[in-house]
Structure 1
Amino acid sequence: MELNAKIYIAGHNGMVGSAILRVLKEKGYTNFVLRSSLDLDLTDQEKVASFFKAEKPDYVFLAAAKVGGIEANNVYRGQFLYENLMIQNNVIHQSYVSKVKKLLFLASSCIYPKLANQPIKEDYLLEGKLEPTNEPYAIAKIAGVKLCENYNRQYGCDFISVMPTNLYGPNDNYDLKNSHVLPALLRKFHEAKENNAPTVEVWGSGTPKREFLHVDDLAKACFHLMESYQGNVSVNVGTGEDLSIKALAELIQKTVGYTGIIVWNSDKPDGTPRKLLDVSLINSLGWKSKIELKEGLKDVYENKFLKQ
């Protein structure tokens, strides 16, 4: 990307979008076109078309999405499907209409089959049934991946997709009802410590395994791919390592310094048994994650909860 290129980051206030903006600024980019969700409703086709016609960005990072954890995905099923489809359709199509040089679409590792072989390779997409609790969100993201792929095939666009694993980092969502497992546990353990609570309840059995990537690592991967990758394969981005939810809870407990007892509520859903991405493709393209989970957690906890 040319240093003077006009870059549109959809979702720049979110965790992923803000991390991409930080990385681009570090690289010397200054010509950004940014709109909050209050300034531009990406589900509105006419408003998105007018925005692209007026601004004509050279490059687009599509990080805007309606997101949440297991409960939010399961409760707001219609909303998650509709809003994500509309956001993606509008931004991707108008990028084509406006002759954007390159677009990067942020998908999600939840689009893979629930019982996919581990680690999950890019070509496992659509080879089995999805996890029921987040099926609407996953279907929307699959549609976005396929939209990019087929606009490339039909119109000769340069639209790429990335499949990040579970993320954490600055600007994460810590709402206990709508957040993902890592930020939710950080908040739970911090509040338990502050209130001297004797126990902390954690959903499920603790046996599912998950992979966690710091959002700053993802942002650097996105920049690397925008610079070096063309193709219709949606690229996995992760660490290549996972741990059980039980081990995660114990690591967070230690990071926070909480001395009470963890109580597992096995009446709550576990979700997918394991979700580890095969990252051999992106590693072969010259990128590897650098931030270790232990250090990343410590940094996030100190900056979010201890410096307030």
Structure 2
Amino acid sequence: MSSEKNVILVTGGSGLVGQAIKTVIEEEAAKGNSNETWVFCGSKDGDLRDRAQTEVLFDKHKPTHVIHLAAMVGGLFHNMAHNLDFFRENMAINDNVLHTSYKHKVKKVVSCLSTCIFPDNTTYPIDETMVHNGPPHTSNYGYSYAKRMIDVLNRGYHEQHGCLFTSVVPCNVFGPHDNFSLSSSHVVPALIRRMDDAIRNGDQTFTVLGSGKPLRQFIYSLDLAKLFIWVLRKYESVEPIILSVDEEDEVTISAVAEAIKKAHGYQGQIVYDTTKADGQYKKTASNKKLRALNKDFSFTPIDKAIQDTVDWFKKNREQART
């Protein structure tokens, strides 16, 4: 990034990753001067599905750089029931943000993809070259295809207009400010919220939906925030880059449930409802490209990250998205 004054607009700034970036930026600001002004926008600041409202937001803040996090998101069962909505709404958001960025001569856009965009039938570990090698898993094809199209748009804007629009692909993110709603949250916040409910209700057993055997890589939101900021400042390619913990840090859902049990101090027994869908068994992602460019990055151990997230939720339950 240049030394002149930069204005970074973060869409979806009130969400999990946006709030984590805000936390890291505030820590940086406390240490000294910066040539960056950060603007965190949420859905209350404008509906990015609407082109006119998107234009108003950009006219107001005049960003030089954009971190694009805004999306319609949800967990496995919510996705399975609303694939068309996920596709149409995310396509509208992404097209509006990228086209408005182009019109406003934004120097760089970093958009957020997801590991679910990768083909369902693939070899592991998945890497950045495999995004378009086949259809995604049927459970969330609407969301997955809409996210894939960001990569298509990025390449198009680069080829036709020379824009530096790029994207990152995080593995499963969790942390403070997550969505803890029972109807639409992802696995870690859902388990944290439900186990808190179970403790409050005095339940002796706690049910995890599915077998608990699927494997996932989880990244703590504050680690992801630091990597996002690094990409914004240092990464100069339109090619996507995977932001994930190492392959050996992959864990089962049952191991996550046990870590959450320990963090909560829950005394009951965890049981598994194997009549419920597991989704993909594994989605192992390679972070070789990240490791080649940012060798010394150190990830927060998952037990500590889960403990910090549980502590945050207990302290902020009334204000959290539930």
Q: Does 1:26 align with 2:34?
A: no
- State whether residues 9 and 21 of structure 1, in contact with CA within 8 Å, keep that contact through their aligned partners in structure 2: no
Question: Against the structure 1 CA distance between its residues 282 and 66, is the aligned structure 2 distance closer, same or farther, given a 3 Å change threshold?
Answer: same
Q: Report the equivalent of 1:294.
A: 303
Q: Report the equivalent of 2:270.
A: 262
Q: Report the equivalent of 1:304.
A: 313
Q: Does 1:37 align with 2:43?
A: yes
Mean Cα deviation higher: 29-38 or 50-59: 29-38
Cα deviation code 1:73-125 (max 9, x no counterpart): 11222221111111110011111111101110011111011232222111111
With normalisation by structure 1, the TM-score equals: 0.95
Cα deviation code 1:14-41 (max 9, x no counterpart): 1111212222333335623343312311
Q: Does 1:63 align with 2:69?
A: yes
For residue 27 of structure 1, give the secondary structure of its aligned residue in structure 2: helix
Question: Against the structure 1 CA distance between its residues 52 and 246, is the aligned structure 2 distance closer, same or farther, given a 3 Å change threshold?
Answer: same
* Whole-angstrom distance in 1 between the partners of 2:107 and 2:114: 23
* Whole-angstrom distance in 2 between the partners of 1:135 and 1:53: 34
> How much has 1:163 moved relative to structure 2?
0.1
Unaligned runs of 5+ in 2: 318-322
* Whole-angstrom distance in 2 between the partners of 1:66 and 1:236: 21
| CA RMSD after TM alignment | 1.6
* Whole-angstrom distance in 1 between the partners of 2:216 and 2:121: 14
Cα deviation code 1:219-257 (max 9, x no counterpart): 110111111111132100111121111111122122212
Q: Does 1:88 align with 2:94?
A: yes
* Whole-angstrom distance in 1 between the partners of 2:154 and 2:108: 11
Question: Against the structure 1 CA distance between its residues 53 and 162, is the aligned structure 2 distance closer, same or farther, given a 3 Å change threshold?
Answer: same
* Whole-angstrom distance in 1 between the partners of 2:308 and 2:285: 24
Q: Report the equivalent of 2:170.
A: 164
Q: Report the equivalent of 1:10.
A: 11
Q: Report the equivalent of 1:249.
A: 257
Q: Does 1:203 align with 2:232?
A: no
Q: Report the equivalent of 2:189.
A: 183
Q: Report the equivalent of 1:282.
A: 290
Q: In the comparison of the two structures, how many residue pairs are matched?
A: 308
> What code does the residue aligned with 2:119 have?
P
Match of 1:272 among 277, 280, 290: 280
For residue 153 of structure 1, give the secondary structure of its aligned residue in structure 2: helix
For residue 275 of structure 1, give the secondary structure of its aligned residue in structure 2: coil
With normalisation by structure 2, the TM-score equals: 0.91
For residue 263 of structure 2, give the secondary structure of its aligned residue in structure 1: helix
* Whole-angstrom distance in 2 between the partners of 1:249 and 1:3: 47
Unaligned runs of 5+ in 1: none
For residue 152 of structure 1, give the secondary structure of its aligned residue in structure 2: helix
Q: Report the equivalent of 2:106.
A: 100
